[in-house]
Amino acid sequence: MHDYRRIADGIAADITTGRLRPGERLPPQRAFARRHGIAASTAERAYGELVRRGLVVGEVGRGTFVKATVPGRPARGLIEDAGTPVNLELNYPSAEGQSELLAGTLAPLLRPDVLTEALRPA
């Protein structure tokens, strides 16, 4: 008998080490169960545990995907390696008229309910 938590731990390790990348689709639960010689219900519980931990998201009819950001690990691009200078050579001012285009797109974010929904984890 296989413990679903141990199976979830193995998948979680693959996610946190980057072996499974953000946005990557996990195999369907039945295929995962067959491949690993476990019951489909065990695979279902393991996937459920990963959802509970915030590592994956299930989309009905589409599958289960690794979340873009993993709890406890900063999002890629939000941190710089210590001692690495930031190259500002290509830091250009915005193009003429770009502010107006962005203003219309970003205006809905001024509403607290829309902003809260936009910032809610997937």
Domains and CATH numbers, the chain: 4-66 (1.10.10.10)
Q: CA–CA separation, 98 vs 89, rounded Å?
A: 20
The DSSP element (H or E) to which 94 belongs, if any, is: none
Strand partners, 57: 65
pLDDT in tens, 1-40: 579 999 999 999 999 898 999 999 999 999 999 999 999 9
State the average pLDDT over residues 51-65: 92
End-to-end distance of the chain based on CA atoms, in angstroms? 33
pLDDT in tens, 69-91: 766 655 555 555 556 676 667 66
Confidence grade of residue 43 (pLDDT, cut at 50, 70, 90):
very high
Question: What pLDDT is stored for residue 86 in this prediction?
Answer: 66
As given in the structure block, the two tokens for residue 15 are 């996610």
Strand partners, 25: 65
State the average pLDDT over residues 45-70: 90
State the average pLDDT over residues 83-104: 73
As given in the structure block, the two tokens for residue 95 are 């193009």
Is the pTM for the entire model greater than 0.85?
Answer: no
Question: What pLDDT is stored for residue 6 in this prediction?
Answer: 96
